[in-house]
């Protein structure tokens, strides 16, 4: 068995070196982490062979990311934004599914697989969008709030698709009603537990910062595990846990204190993206992946821009939010893997989704850090943490 300590040590060392090169050459750090994965993974020097283990560990970073996103977004603000963003999300998703599906059918891929691929690629990256937003002003700016609302709406759609692909479909109208009711009941329980159990406990230990942060982590992962138990994703549970704590005055302190933990595990996540690229299959599909990626990168920002202008937002604001949301998502990668495991799509189509998603994430990160405020801003005037 591969030594886990050696693998993680090697990943951290090489990722740190590639990140330094990225910073010096003014490249997005995300690209540096993906490059490290390609270099050390099975299709590079193959120094890290157990990519599945690293991927499982990196999932902690995704959970923490959603938890911190919830921490800086008050529930009442989220609910008020959902009315606008849900319609925009559904409308944009339908257009992207048709566009990508049509492209793949014209490229002589099967219709059913083309539709699934188009649906998978419509999601925007929660990790990339949130990480490239200035976190200190995320709770103050309308940009951050609308991005989070769009991403949460997409996550809910993605969860429904994953349940369908896994065969966890309600067998009657009663089952279809029970699923959302179970979710509503779960949210109510979380809110009550936070208000009457977690918040008073945090007041008792607020002067012991180590204990306070550990309690927040325990709350996050406890609710994430509970969400998985009742049929929802860890990410959904973590977001709801953060959302509940956002009502507390201590939420900002917690979000600042937990950033380092989130960022460390996200390094592993982006590393596994690069390590999982199957180069022999890539040689067969790179042209169609490039075409699909360019189509997404051009049409997606323009469509979001048009939809937000139609909803009453200013043109400059709508252009920025369109570009920030203009990539595919880590949920695209998850849908690709699950769909292939359950024989809804071929391995080749799964790799097509993954390659297109990674391509759009890389290009989108370049565009965002080059033109808009970001913690990784290419210019000093754009660098905002």
Q: Is the pLDDT of residue 138 over 50?
A: no
In a domain, 333, yes or no: yes
Q: How many independent structural domains does the chain possess?
A: 1
Q: Which of 6-20, 254-268, 368-382 has the lowest mean pLDDT?
A: 368-382
Q: What are phi and psi of 140, to 5 degrees?
A: -100, -30
What angle separates helix 142-165 from helix 234-245, to the nearest 10 degrees?
A: 150
Per the prediction, the chain carries an average pLDDT of 81
Query: Which residue would you say has higher pLDDT here, 379 or 263?
Result: 263
Query: Which residue would you say has higher pLDDT here, 370 or 169?
Result: 370
pLDDT at 173: 54
pLDDT at 206: 81
Could you tell me if residue 239 is left (phi over 0), alpha (psi between -120 and 50 degrees) or otherwise beta? alpha
Q: Is the pLDDT of residue 45 over 80?
A: yes
In a domain, 46, yes or no: yes
Q: What are phi and psi of 383, to 5 degrees?
A: -80, 110
In a domain, 377, yes or no: no
* d(C-alpha 264, C-alpha 157), whole Å: 28
Q: Is the pLDDT of residue 374 over 60?
A: yes
Query: Which residue would you say has higher pLDDT here, 90 or 139?
Result: 90
Q: Is the pLDDT of residue 84 over 80?
A: no
Q: Is the pLDDT of residue 27 over 80?
A: no
* d(C-alpha 224, C-alpha 60), whole Å: 10
In a domain, 279, yes or no: yes
Q: Is the pLDDT of residue 139 over 50?
A: no
pLDDT at 175: 56
Could you tell me if residue 224 is left (phi over 0), alpha (psi between -120 and 50 degrees) or otherwise beta? alpha
Query: Which residue would you say has higher pLDDT here, 172 or 264?
Result: 264
Q: What are phi and psi of 150, to 5 degrees?
A: -65, -45
pLDDT > 90 fraction of the chain, expressed in percent and rounded: 10
In a domain, 379, yes or no: no
pLDDT at 381: 52
Reduced to 3 states, what is the DSSP secondary structure of residue 134? coil
What angle separates helix 51-71 from helix 4-24, to the nearest 10 degrees?
A: 60
pLDDT at 382: 55
In a domain, 324, yes or no: yes
Q: What are phi and psi of 208, to 5 degrees?
A: -105, 90
pLDDT at 221: 94
Q: Which of 4-8, 74-78, 117-121, 299-303 has the lowest mean pLDDT?
A: 74-78
| CATH code at position 171 | 1.20.1530.20
In a domain, 381, yes or no: no
Give the number of other Cβ atoms within 10 Å of residue 249's Cβ. 7
Domain span at residue 259? 4-371
At 317-326, the pLDDT tens digits run 888 888 888 8
pLDDT at 140: 44
pTM as predicted: 0.70
Kindly state the helix (H) or strand (E) to which residue 324 belongs, with its residue range.
helix 315-324
At 218-253, the pLDDT tens digits run 999 999 999 888 777 787 788 889 888 888 888 878
| For range 282-297, the mean pLDDT | 87
CA angle 48, 351, 274 (to 5 degrees): 35
Any bridge partners for residue 383, and if so which? 374
Q: Is the pLDDT of residue 58 over 90?
A: no
At 153-207, the pLDDT tens digits run 887 677 677 667 765 555 555 555 566 777 788 888 999 998 899 989 998 888 8
| For range 23-33, the mean pLDDT | 76
pLDDT bucket at 216, cuts 50 / 70 / 90 = very high
pLDDT at 1: 47
In a domain, 250, yes or no: yes
Q: Are 41 and 52 in contact (CB under 8 A)?
A: no
């Amino acid at each position: 068995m591969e030594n886990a300590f050696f693998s993680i040590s090697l990943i951290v060392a090489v990722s740190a070196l590639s990140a330094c090169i990225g910073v010096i050459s003014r490249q997005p750090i995300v690209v540096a982490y993906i490059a490290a994965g390609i270099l050390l993974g099975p299709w590079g020097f193959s120094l890290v062979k157990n990519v599945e283990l690293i991927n499982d560990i990196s999932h902690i970073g995704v959970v923490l990311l959603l938890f911190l996103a919830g921490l800086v977004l008050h529930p009442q603000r989220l609910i008020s934004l959902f009315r606008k963003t849900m319609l925009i999300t559904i409308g944009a998703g339908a257009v992207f599914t048709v566009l990508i599906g049509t492209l793949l059918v014209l490229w002589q891929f099967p219709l059913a697989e083309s539709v699934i691929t188009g649906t998978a690629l419509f999601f925007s990256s929660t990790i990339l969008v949130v990480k490239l937003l200035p976190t200190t002003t995320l709770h103050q700016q309308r940009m951050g709030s609308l991005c989070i609302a769009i991403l949460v709406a997409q996550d809910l759609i993605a969860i429904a698709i994953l349940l369908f692909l896994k065969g966890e479909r309600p067998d009657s109208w009663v089952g279809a009603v029970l699923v959302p009711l179970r979710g509503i009941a779960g949210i109510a329980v979380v809110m009550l537990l936070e208000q009457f159990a977690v918040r008073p406990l945090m007041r008792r230990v607020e002067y012991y910062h180590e204990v306070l942060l550990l309690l927040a982590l325990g709350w996050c992962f406890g609710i994430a595990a509970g969400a998985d138990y009742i049929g929802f994703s860890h990410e959904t549970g973590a977001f709801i846990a953060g959302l509940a704590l956002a009502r507390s005055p201590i939420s900002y302190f917690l979000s600042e204190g937990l950033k380092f933990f989130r960022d460390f595990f996200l390094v592993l996540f982006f590393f596994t993206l690069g390590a999982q690229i199957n180069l022999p299959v890539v040689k067969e599909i790179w042209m169609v992946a490039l075409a699909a990626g360019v189509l997404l990168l051009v049409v997606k920002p323009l469509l979001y821009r048009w939809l937000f202008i139609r909803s009453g937002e200013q043109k400059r604001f709508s252009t920025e939010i369109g570009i920030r949301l203009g990539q595919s998502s880590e949920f695209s990668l998850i849908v690709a893997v699950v769909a292939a495991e359950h024989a809804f799509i071929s391995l080749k189509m799964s790799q097509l989704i993954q390659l297109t998603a990674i391509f759009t994430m890389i290009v989108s990160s370049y565009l965002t850090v080059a033109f808009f405020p970001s913690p990784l801003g290419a210019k000093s005037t754009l660098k905002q943490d």
